Amino acid sequence: MGSRMRTGVLGVALVLGVLASFTLKAQEASLKADPVHGKAISYTCLGCHGVAGYKNAYPNYSVPELRGQHPEYLVAALKEYKSGERSHFTMHSQAEELSEQDMADIAAYFAGAPLSAGHVPAAQVPDVASLCVSCHGADGVGITPLYPTLAGQHADYLARALDEYQKGARKNVIMATFAAHLTSAQMDALADYFSKEQPSLQTLPRPATRISAD
């Protein structure tokens, strides 16, 4: 008891404070998003994100599902690939081409209607996830627009993301803190828990024909 626990609580409070200001900015930025333009410029993306079961080759893990995700979070993720705060070669080249307006438009198109919170969790929240659910929701729906929804996301992708936060390949300060002490067995258990939540994120439908931008 005592100082160690207090430091932990203070850390969470600090993190929540920083995020509150972030969230405000994200909401302002998303006001003018145009999903019709987003659809028109998303053809390349759908080559991976529009194919159910599609995998990243080396290492081998599932391409994340984007349908139902918070659009503000999708924009934040794209900015992190662009800036290099997340290291993924393909996603860096993809995001590098996009303006902020393009990102907002694509995110609005991909997200569709975000999953609504308040479902009954699939299973009892495991002890290891007790802190996680304060942001990502016991039902896996992120409680603010910048806390990603994890419900139904591919387990291998979630485990991979946790490993990258721990190793620094993803540089988000909040998640670095929460992933720091997880063992790989705990990462797998967390990924498994959230991946089974319903209703779940989905893979976008891939259009049968090429979309033109006219």
Q: Sign of the CA dihedral 10, 13, 19, 24?
A: negative
Q: How far is the CB of 102 from ligand HEC (least distance, A)?
A: 8
Query: Out of 141, 174, 189, 204, which residue is the one contacting ligand HEC (CB under 6 A)?
Result: 174
Binding range to ligand HEC, per CB under 6 A, among 1-9, 28-36, 80-88, 202-210:
80-88
Q: Are 117 and 140 in contact (CB under 8 A)?
A: no
Q: How far is the CB of 195 from ligand HEC (least distance, A)?
A: 10
Binding range to ligand HEC, per CB under 6 A, among 2-10, 26-34, 86-94, 115-123:
86-94
Q: Sign of the CA dihedral 45, 50, 55, 59?
A: positive
Q: How far is the CB of 14 from ligand HEC (least distance, A)?
A: 10
* Identity of residue 204: L
> CA 185 to CA 90: how far, in whole Å?
28
CA distances from 157 to 42, 161, 194 (A): 21, 6, 11
Residue 78 engages ligand HEC in binding (rule: CB under 6 A): yes
- State the Cα torsion 31-33-35-38 to the nearest 10°: -160
In terms of CB distance, is 56 or 101 closer to ligand HEC? 56
Hunting for tokens 């160690």 — which residue is that?
4
Count residues binding ligand HEC (CB under 6 A).
Answer: 41
Q: How far is the CB of 86 from ligand HEC (least distance, A)?
A: 5
Residue 104 engages ligand HEC in binding (rule: CB under 6 A): no
In terms of CB distance, is 10 or 131 closer to ligand HEC? 131
